[in-house]
């Protein structure tokens, strides 16, 4: 068995124009001061990281690692969640997702998609330069407007959607294979890969590509009312990344999974800081130890109620307290009698 690494923090929800959150050096010092051992870096924010430069310059990547090491931190993974979303966008969401791309690409879906694909390929090369084993992203979505089967979906619509999604992602998966990095899709509402069934459908569509893997975030499973522990049991072979995020779901007479267009504070399902929700993290960390997961436990902080500073402070302690230092011997070794083949055969009545 292997001991999971952590605690680490995904920086996307913390970066801002206010110090210490406006540069990698100062946010690294802040995170280290809270007890974090690693950081996961979003690649779309040049205040922290220059993706294009990292893809071309191993020296730049070494400087990033050295900066983090000065604060006792490691780089866990890179993220292209926003760029990955743009690999596949249904026209209904064009204007809403334009903000994820440079201003000069707004209103031009084809150019925006081409840019997103190139961003993913840059991320593959950058991850290789940084000696990273995994990378996190979103799948994007062509079929999300047709999630509910009313009006009745035309025959072949879902199959066509996943065939197109696979066509767009296969060259990217190949780029990650060339780089020796696993591409981990976060299972998330709003994506075509939003549950186990859709992940399996996509896995079939990309011919079980060896780099097609999964980012496990139990909070999204709580909000969809999936069994987040059974999910881990079923898909542990594909899980290469772990976002430690909590959530709660309280159905009522007025709303359920769909939320009734209410705000995050009022929704039946909402994200919470670690320990404040319904995710069974004791069981999750036990299962990850059982399944030899040796990646990072990375907090992605989102909460409808709590301040992010408090969430980070409490979260670092929460993860540290949940990491299982796996044993190097069996608990009942003290009663062991060694191996005696002849005695064993005698016990079985074979001699």
End-to-end distance of the chain based on CA atoms, in angstroms? Answer: 36
- Identify the CA nearest to 298 among candidates 42, 53, 61, 87: 42
CB atoms within 10 A of CB 180: 13
Domain range list for the chain: 5-347
Sign of the C-alpha dihedral computed for residues 48, 52, 55 and 60 taken in this order: negative
CATH class of 5-347: alpha beta
Per-residue pLDDT of the chain (351 residues; tens, 9 = 90+): 899 999 999 999 999 999 999 999 999 999 999 999 999 999 999 999 999 999 999 999 999 999 999 999 999 999 999 999 999 999 999 999 999 999 999 999 999 999 999 999 999 999 999 999 999 999 999 999 999 999 999 999 999 999 999 999 999 999 999 999 999 999 999 999 999 999 999 999 999 999 999 999 999 999 999 999 999 999 999 999 999 999 999 999 999 999 999 999 999 999 999 999 999 999 999 999 999 999 999 999 999 999 999 999 999 999 999 999 998 877 666 666 677 888 889 889 997
* Torsion angle defined by CA atoms of residues 321, 323, 326 and 331, in that order, rounded to the nearest 10 degrees: 40
Measured distance CA(178)–CA(213) in Å, rounded: 15
Measured distance CA(127)–CA(281) in Å, rounded: 29
Measured distance CA(318)–CA(299) in Å, rounded: 10
Measured distance CA(179)–CA(58) in Å, rounded: 13
Q: Are 161 and 202 in contact (CB under 8 A)?
A: no
Q: pTM (2 decimals)?
A: 0.95
């Amino acid at each position: 068995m292997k001991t999971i690494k952590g605690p680490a923090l995904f920086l996307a929800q913390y970066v801002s124009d206010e110090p210490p959150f406006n540069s990698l050096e100062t946010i690294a010092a802040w995170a280290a001061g809270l007890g974090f051992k690693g950081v996961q870096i979003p690649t779309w924010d040049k205040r922290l990281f220059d993706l294009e430069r990292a893809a071309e310059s191993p020296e730049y990547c070494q400087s990033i690692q050295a900066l983090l090491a000065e604060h006792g931190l490691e780089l866990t993974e890179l993220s292209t969640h926003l760029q990955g979303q743009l690999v596949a966008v249904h026209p209904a969401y064009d204007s809403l997702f334009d903000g994820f791309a440079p201003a000069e690409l707004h209103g031009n879906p084809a150019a925006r998609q081409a840019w997103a694909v190139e961003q993913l390929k840059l991320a593959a090369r950058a991850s290789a330069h940084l000696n990273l084993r995994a990378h996190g992203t979103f799948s994007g979505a062509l079929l999300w407007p047709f999630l509910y089967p009313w009006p009745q979906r035309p025959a072949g619509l879902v199959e066509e959607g996943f065939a197109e999604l696979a066509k767009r992602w296969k060259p990217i998966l190949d780029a990650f294979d060339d780089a020796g990095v696993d591409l981990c899709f976060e299972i998330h509402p709003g994506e075509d890969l939003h549950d186990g069934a859709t992940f399996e459908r996509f896995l079939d569509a990309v011919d079980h590509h060896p780099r097609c893997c999964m980012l496990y975030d139990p909070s999204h499973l709580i909000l969809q009312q999936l069994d987040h522990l059974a999910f881990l049991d079923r898909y542990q072979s594909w899980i290469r990344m772990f976002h430690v995020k909590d959530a709660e779901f309280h159905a009522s007479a007025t709303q359920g999974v769909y939320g009734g267009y209410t705000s995050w504070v009022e929704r039946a399902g909402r994200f919470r800081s670690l320990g404040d929700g319904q995710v069974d993290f004791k069981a999750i960390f036990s299962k990850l130890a059982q399944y030899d997961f040796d990646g990072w436990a990375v907090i992605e902080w989102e909460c409808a109620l709590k301040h992010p500073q408090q969430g980070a402070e409490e979260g670092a302690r929460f993860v540290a307290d949940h990491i299982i230092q796996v044993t190097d011997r069996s608990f009942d070794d003290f009663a062991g009698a060694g191996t005696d083949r002849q005695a064993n055969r005698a016990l079985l009545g074979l001699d």
